[in-house]
Structure 1
Amino acid sequence: MSAAFGKKLERIETPIPGLVVFELPVHGDSRGWFKENWQREKMVALGLEDFGPVQNNISFNDAVGTTRGIHAEPWDKWVSVATGRIFGAWVDLREGPTFGAVYTTELDPSRAIFVPRGVGNSYQTLETDTAYTYLVNDHWSPDASYSFLNLADETAAIAWPIPLSEVEISEKDKAHPRLADVTPIPPRKVLVLGASGQLGRALRARLGDAAHIEYATRADIDVSATDLASARRWRDYGLIVNAAAYTAVDQAETADGREQAWAANASAVAALARIADDHGITFVHVSSDYVFDGTHDGAYPEDAPLRPLGVYGQTKAAGDLAASTAERHYIVRTSWVIGEGGNFVRTMQSLAERGIDPRVVGDQIGRLTFTSDIAAAIAHLVETRAPYGVYNVTGSGDPRSWADIAREVFRLSGHDADRVTAVSTDEYFASATGPVAPRPRNSVLDLAKITATGFVPADADESLAAYLAVEEEIR
């Protein structure tokens, strides 16, 4: 064996993002050797995300100089050598600024490499009877998208130890295109559900309309369908953002509303979480302050016990539990959402302009959260690869009551704030003729955790002023 015994497990970065070499400890004596070829716990501890391998392949080559590649597949690979030694060359064939970047090194039983989706890989054997193994996290499919690069590409200029003119190469590999003609591998797809809602529109504004981003309404994909697991080639997706929900809080207290709320807010989330877990997809789910009963003294931390009061809150709490079963999950818990379309702020502004003096609830306390800020927080968590889990995301600043906010809307709109009368929740709903859901009195969420990731929540008062200024310009 050509590899040295006794190496320390070590991670080595390369110039290609995500392409990582690992030195592997190999233990042996005159009888032979042993190594842990893939050890999930140790690899993850060194920063390699558990990529969920589903297949183990072995390639045996009996002659020196056997050369294969350059192939870029739509899955991740863990490549290591069982016997012998190889020269490996990797070329980034993914869309982006590192397209065409090259890295080369030798692998023997004491070295392995993680090859991310879209990075082209090729190997040349340097010893007889060489066998290398690779774990992959998807099954081969004729429908998958592949890219290839010619082994002799002048731009990549790979310094093969044995000249290509002296080795046997398949006719198929010889026919691969030069770099200028390569079709780059696009990023894994992003699916945004609830695209027609307030948050869905804000996510489109934040994420853009790149070809790999899909915005879907219920008409586009029915998450309650029994064939959801086969509705897409899910392995092509890297992110699902669930901005869809049943939000008719009072209507949820009726028989039909209860059924619809449970289907959209709990059952659908469970189905999406299963798909995300099965295919290594990051799952973002948007939650609500209604999972709490509002009796907590102070701001609610993310790990506060769930105590929903009404059906809507119960279904959202169930959805949180379902979403948390996905290994790669972000649960974004928010409150008092304001975005494009009908909302509390626009209603108060309209009442002010029409000369109507409203009675507004004064014993519910929280902070406004604008959909643009939620979308920015979601993008931040995903892009920075923040630790998975639950994050509170609301506007920052001093908590207000709904009546306080109404008065501020009146003031900023040039009207007398004293026209707003604060009443209790019980007084406000005393004359209601339909179902009324219980509301949490305290909806203030603690923002320390999201702030610790480097995201700075916008001040709710400043966001309100900016929102109304934009509204005024539109008018």
Structure 2
Amino acid sequence: MSIDHDKKLAVTETTIPGLVLVDLPVPGDNRGWFKENWQREKLLALGLPDLGPVQNNISFNDAVGTTRGIHAEPWDKYVSVATGRIFGAWVDLREGPTFGAAFTAELDPSRAILVPRGVGNSYQTLEPDTAYTYLVNDHWSPDAEYTFLNLADETAAIEWPIPLDQVEISAKDLAHPRLADVVPMRPRKTLVLGGNGQLGRALRTVFPGAEFTTRADFDVTDPTAWGSKHWKDYGVIVNAAAYTAVDQAETPQGRRDAWAVNVTAVGLMAQVAAANGITLVHVSSDYVFDGTVEVHDEDEPFSPLGVYGQTKAAGDALVATVPQHYIVRTSWVIGDGNNFVRTMASLADRGIDPAVVDDQIGRLTFADEIAAGIAHLLRVGASAGTYNLSGDGDEGSWADIARAVFALVGADPDRIRGVTTDEYFAGRSGIAPRPMRSTLDLSKTRAVGFRTTTWTEGLAAYLG
């Protein structure tokens, strides 16, 4: 066997998304050769995903023409040759527009391939005493979901170097279905935590096939719950669960509950996400800031005023340790449920003239736009990090919003009496401090192609 000892480390995309050929340097002399088969730092720098292997398997084949069937497994694998030479055939068996796409190439010690989950792979040996290794990022399980394709499928039309009628093929491989009868492998699942909250209900529209949980069926604070799922089946966790009782968080029990949900549970989900290559989407809050800056960007240091803000800031720091994460920071959320807008509309209808705070400044954010923004970040594969997402347009106070609600429902906006925060809470104890300015800089989110409507437009649509 002749090996190209002058190759440089390089990757080549194939016609199948995620299937990547890797050229490997194989320096050698009269004593033999050496190669770095998987060098994580160098390969990640070239754009390969972090495989995170948990098994290293070796397949030895003593005869030329040994052919193994087209099998698609529910994990990623990195295949390379130790000795000999193989012909590889790969067919996309995942749900989606490239289902059935085929790609072939020869592999020797100087060339490897990264095979993503759900892409069928088959190998035919071209030299005697051929051995190839494969790293996989999940443990083999008889209960895992597999998909198979017949080696002789007419649609894939693979041109085998050695005709299939001249090689030994197992009875199982001979019985595998043609492409028309293959059940495509489903994508890794999306799990939404907090499925019954305002945001959780909005997420049901943009992730109709996701798995939604509530506190009743999945207690995010319970470590045993996090051990109850096979996490390699999941590709995304969206954390819409949070303790949001801002004033209650200042009480002894509320403080414990806020830390349990907003910090301890987030630490558990961060561990699971990091260990299993899951993208973690976490919803944050303007309360991580003290509100002394007029407009908050994503790089502003944390400066929370109260317990709720402290727990959200701590949760954000934990999520940031996950390699693939999105922290979606928002403010003044309005969705399906009891909220400030519905309260103001009800007061207008009942003839009540409320006093409303006029020295806290920000923008409303509608839950359906947060949900759409999360879906957009995932769809475009935006770089990991924090993204501000709120309503757009001019900032305003809670009193301005109340006046806008009154006007939209046909009531006189002058019935709203503006008061300061201190006046509003005068004589009441156990009130959490609020950031006085909550306006978020949206330029980073706009740069990845997502724009929200102005909060005034969103309010009009919300009220119908």
Q: TM-score, normalised by structure 1?
A: 0.95
Match of 2:81 in 1: 81
Is 1:366 aligned to 2:362, yes or no? yes
Equivalent pair of 2:51/2:137 in contact (CA under 8 Å): yes
Partner of 2:359, secondary structure, is: coil
Amino acid at match of 1:445: L
How far the C-alpha of 1:10 sits from its partner, in A, is 2.1
CA contact (8 A) 2:73 2:117 kept: yes
Task: Name the SS of the counterpart of 1:200 in structure 2.
Answer: helix
Q: Corresponding residue for 1:230? A: 227
- Asked if residue 290 in structure 1 is aligned to residue 287 in structure 2, the reply is yes
CA distance in 1: counterparts of 2:401 and 2:390, whole angstroms: 15
Q: C-alpha displacement at 1:32, in angstroms? A: 1.9
Q: CA deviation at 1:194?
A: 0.5
8 Å Cα contact 2:148-2:182 kept in structure 1? yes
Measure, in 1, the Cα distance between the counterparts of 2:342 and 2:302: 31
Query: SS at the partner of 1:318?
Result: helix
Number of positions where the alignment pairs a residue of Structure 1 with one of Structure 2: 464
Q: Pick from 248, 263, 266: which aligns with 1:269? A: 266
Rounded to whole Å, the distance in 2 between the matches of 1:308 and 1:133 is: 51
Equivalent residue for 2:254, pick from 253, 257, 280: 257
SS of equivalent residue, structure 1 residue 44: helix
Query: Which string of whole-angstrom CA distances, capped at 9 and with x for unpartnered residues, describes residues 29-52 of structure 1?
Result: 232222221121221122211121
Conserved in 2, the CA contact under 8 Å of 1:138 and 1:235?
Answer: yes
Q: Is the contact made by 2:223 and 2:268 (CA closer than 8 Å) also made in structure 1?
A: no
| Residue 450 of structure 2: aligned partner | 455
Shift of the alpha carbon at 1:417? Answer: 1.4
CA distance in 1, matches of 2:219, 2:142: 26
Contact kept, 8 Å, 1:2 with 1:108, in 2: the verdict is no
CA deviation string 1:11-67 (max 9, x = no partner) = 212121111112222222232222221121221122211121111111111111010
Task: Tell me which amino acid in the other structure corresponds to 2:336.
Answer: E
C-alpha separation in 1, matches of 2:58 and 2:102? 24
Task: Tell whether the 8 Å contact from 1:199 to 1:243 is kept in structure 2 after alignment.
Answer: yes
| Unpaired stretches in structure 2, ≥5 consecutive residues | none
Of 412, 425, 442, 2:408 maps to 412
460, 466, 470: which one aligns with 2:461: 466
Aligned twin of 2:44: 44
Counterpart in 2 of 1:473?
none
Partner residue of 1:63?
Answer: 63
| Alignment TM-score, normalising by the size of structure 2 | 0.98
Q: Which amino acid aligns with 2:182?
A: V
* Alignment partners' CA distance in 1, 2:393 and 2:188: 37
Alignment-derived partner of residue 16 in structure 1: 16
Q: In the alignment, what sits opposite 1:311?
A: 307
Instruction: Tell me how far apart the structure 2 counterparts of residues 458 and 378 of structure 1 sit (CA, whole Å).
Output: 15
- Partner residue in 2 for 1:342: 338
TM-aligned CA distance change 1:357 to 1:229, over 3 Å: closer
Aligned match of 2:324: 328
For 1:395, the equivalent position in structure 2 comes to 391
- Report SS of the residue matched to 1:35: coil
Q: Write the deviation string for residues 436-470 of structure 1: whole angstroms up to 9, x where unpaired.
A: 111000111111211111111222121112212x2
Aligned-partner residue type, residue 320 of structure 2: S
Distance of 1:309 and 1:266 partners within structure 2: 17
User: Secondary structure of 2:17's match?
Assistant: coil
Measured in 2, the distance between the counterparts of 1:421 and 1:310 equals 27
1:215 alignment partner, one of 212, 215, 222:
212
**Which residue identity lines up with residue 127 of structure 1 in the other structure?**
E
Tell me the residue number matched to 1:248.
245
Q: CA deviation at 1:389?
A: 1.1
> How far 1:293 sits from its partner (Å)?
0.8
CA positional deviation for 1:286: 0.6
Rounded Cα–Cα distance in structure 2 between residues aligned with 1:285 and 1:124 = 45
Distance 1:227 1:329 in 2: 23
Equivalence for 1:105: 105
CA–CA distance in structure 2, aligned partners of residues 310 and 10 of structure 1 = 51
RMSD of the alignment, in Å? 1.2
For residues 242-299 of structure 1, what are the alpha-carbon distances to aligned partners after superposition, in whole Å with 9 as ceiling and x for unaligned? 0001111111111111111111111000001111111111111111111111112x21
Cα distance, 1:228 vs. partner?
2.7
**1:91 equivalent in structure 2:** 91
**Which residue identity is paired with 2:6?**
G
Q: 20-29 or 440-449: which moved more?
A: 20-29
Match of 1:25 in 2: 25
Question: How many angstroms does 1:147 deviate by?
Answer: 1.0
Q: Does the Cα contact within 8 Å between 2:19 and 2:115 map onto a contact in 1?
A: yes
Check conservation: 2:354, 2:417, Cα contact below 8 A: yes
Question: Secondary structure of the residue that 1:360 maps to in structure 2?
Answer: strand
* One of 434, 437, 441 as aligned partner of 1:439: 434
How far does residue 356 in structure 1 lie from its aligned partner after superposition? Answer: 1.1
CA contact (8 A) 2:118 2:185 kept: yes
Find the aligned partners of 1:2 and 1:190 in 2 and give their Cα distance. Answer: 46
Q: Distance in 2 between matches of 1:223 and 1:352?
A: 39
User: 1:161 corresponds to which letter in structure 2?
Assistant: P
Once residues 63 and 42 of structure 1 are traced to their aligned partners in structure 2, the CA distance between those partners, rounded to angstroms, is 34
Unpaired stretches in structure 1, ≥5 consecutive residues: 471-475
Is the contact between residue 222 and residue 265 of structure 2 (CA under 8 Å) also seen in structure 1?
no
- Bigger mean CA deviation after superposition, 185-194 or 174-183: 174-183
What whole-Å deviation, never above 9, does each CA across 1:306-365 have from its counterpart, x for those lacking one?
Answer: 111111111111111121122211111110001111111111111112111111101101
Between 376-385 and 192-201, report the one with greater CA deviation: 376-385
Contact 1:60–1:131 (Cα < 8 Å) also in 2: yes
Amino acid at match of 2:409: S
Match of 1:158 in 2: 158
Distance in 2 (alpha carbons) for counterparts of 1:195 and 1:384: 24
Query: Which whole-Å CA distance do the structure 1 matches of 2:3 and 2:32 have between them?
Result: 12
How far apart, in 2, do the equivalents of 1:131 and 1:455 lie? 49
**Are 1:2 and 1:84, in contact at CA under 8 Å, matched by a contact in 2?**
no
Letter in 1 for 2:375: A
CA distance in 1 between counterparts of 2:280 and 2:386 reads 12
Distance in 2 of aligned mates of 1:459 and 1:23: 50
Quick check: 2:220–2:226 contact (8 Å CA) kept in 1?
no
1:3 is displaced (CA, Å) by: 2.6
